[in-house]
Amino acid sequence: MVDTKRWVNPQEFENMFAIKQSTQKAMRSAGKLPYVKFGGFVKYDLNDIDKLFEQHKLNNGVLDEN
């Protein structure tokens, strides 16, 4: 991750990755999107998101298990 900012809120996440906040909420509820909640505010750790994307990376249409 080039950006030095580590934590983002749902709006920033939506702007960065084009994943709507309603979709984010559904993914959080399903345990598919790691997050922390402080006093009602949701934050995402971009390091965790990078890892999540790497885990779901496709290589020629096949999940890359490396």
Question: SS3 of 30, please?
Answer: coil
In a domain, 1, yes or no: no
pLDDT at 2 over 70: no
Q: pLDDT tens digit string along 17-64?
A: 999 999 999 999 999 999 999 999 999 999 999 999 998 888 776 666
Spatial separation of the C-alpha atoms in residues 61 and 6, rounded to whole Å: 30
pLDDT at 3 over 70: no
Backbone angle region of 39, left / alpha / beta, with phi > 0 → left and psi within -120 to 50 → alpha: left
In a domain, 2, yes or no: no
What pLDDT was estimated at residue 56?
85
Q: Which residues contact 20 (CB under 8 A, 6 or more apart)?
A: 14
pLDDT at 65 over 80: no
In a domain, 20, yes or no: yes
In a domain, 66, yes or no: no
Residues 56, 63: contact at Cβ < 8 Å? yes
pLDDT at 13 over 90: yes
Report the domain count for the chain. Answer: 1
